[in-house]
Amino acid sequence: MKRPKINLMFFLITLVCVVFLLPPASQAESHLTVLTYHGFGTQLSEYFLPPDVFRGQILYMKNNGYNFLSLAEVEEHLRTGDSFPDNAVFITVDDAYLSTYTEAFPFLKKHDIPWALYVYTEVIEEEHPGDYPSFVTWDMLEEMVDAGVYIGNHSHTHSYFLNPRDDYDTWIEEEILKAEEKLEERLDVEITSYAPPYGIYDTYMLDEIRDHTDYNTVLTSDAGVVDQRNDTFLLPRFEIRESTLAVGFLTTIDRRPLPVEEFSPAAGARLDSTPDTIYINLKEPENVLDDLVEIYLLGAGQLDWDWKDRSAGRLVARIPGELKNSWNTVTIRAVDPESRRYRKYSFSFIYSPD
């Protein structure tokens, strides 16, 4: 079936219509929204965003008081604890498809917008025949680096990392350190950030990265808003896809952080059995409305939950039966009682019964 064409005019008109439905901007709370893009065009999958829609999103943010940060600025704010500027945004692009160079790069350069490109190095060195999408070349990467684009590590082969491994040392060397070495050698840059392929991580991977690299940040695909209290090795990002139309995009960039003190299962935990419950302890329970807290589990939908200690922010959600997925993302969505804005936090764990 032919996909309907989404053009810039439609996107901007929709933005004008829905922006008046949002509550007025509140700038007192320091936070950072990280957006993730992949390809630009109408090919292969919903991860490819029409270029005119991408341009419309960027222009909307630029013209409405959003502050675009570089990775260096993000890492500095996280290191020092200094507040982010009002409406801070960090633009990231994963994979290094050719359309990143032909569509995103010249537009972002024209508007002087900082951004980061997370590259997996195997595709830069090998040709992929047939209808496989084209990727950038080393010369293109060098041009982007010279223009101020930050290059991040997205592994060497972009492996789908779910099954438990007995060869972590070898894997780290091949997948992360090999990619780091190639990027630093070919582009004369220092790699300080990693984004795991498909957003999949576990506690062992994060520990190995801490032990074997000098990275400052690891960016996940868990949806949420960053503040200074985030674990710098579990920074959330919002994925922007073809299906992210104007209303969804505005809601995304309007969200606020939902600080969580602890939770169980732990982020990146590997479980060999299904837990009965999910435990969550909110740091600031006074900043959520009782009847507007929702908890979702990927594959199971919305979960039933109860407060165990309302004043302390402790709540428990029940898992309805056996887990269906290997990769399980828990999403907590709440509404701020004052601003009526959504707050969001996500974390993921792996179910590996065999």
* H/E stretch holding 290: none
CA 348 to chain centroid: 13
218 close to 201: Cβ distance less than 8 angstroms: yes
Which residues, other chains included, contact 131 with Cβ-Cβ below 8 Å and sequence gap of 6+?
none
How confident is the model at residue 38, as a pLDDT? Answer: 94
CA 299 to chain centroid: 20
188 close to 228: Cβ distance less than 8 angstroms: no
Which residues, other chains included, contact 257 with Cβ-Cβ below 8 Å and sequence gap of 6+?
29, 31, 224, 225, 226, 227, 229, 230, 343, 344, 345
How confident is the model at residue 7, as a pLDDT? Answer: 54
Alpha carbons 336 and 351: distance in angstroms, whole number: 32
Alpha carbons 99 and 133: distance in angstroms, whole number: 9
Alpha carbons 216 and 325: distance in angstroms, whole number: 30
How confident is the model at residue 150, as a pLDDT? Answer: 97
263 close to 313: Cβ distance less than 8 angstroms: no
Query: Which parts of the chain sit beneath pLDDT 50?
Result: 1-6, 10-11, 13, 15-27, 129-131
| Homologous superfamily of 8-15+26-256 | Glycoside hydrolase/deacetylase (3.20.20.370)
Give the tens place of pLDDT for each residue, 109-139: 999 999 999 999 998 876 554 445 689 999 9
Q: DSSP states of 242-263 as a string?
A: TT--HHHHHHHHT-EE--EEEE
Alpha carbons 118 and 91: distance in angstroms, whole number: 11
CA 310 to chain centroid: 30
Sequence ranges of the domains in the chain: 8-15+26-256, 260-351
260-351: CATH class:
mainly beta
96 close to 111: Cβ distance less than 8 angstroms: no
Alpha carbons 151 and 324: distance in angstroms, whole number: 36
- Residue of 313, 312, 287, 316 whose CA lies nearest to 304: 316
CA distances from 201 to 32, 74, 248 (A): 22, 21, 26
What is the separation, in whole angstroms, between the first and last Cα of the chain? 39
40 close to 94: Cβ distance less than 8 angstroms: no
How confident is the model at residue 131, as a pLDDT? Answer: 47
Alpha carbons 96 and 124: distance in angstroms, whole number: 9
Q: What is the pTM of this model?
A: 0.89
Angle between helices 51-63 and 8-19 (to 10 degrees): 40
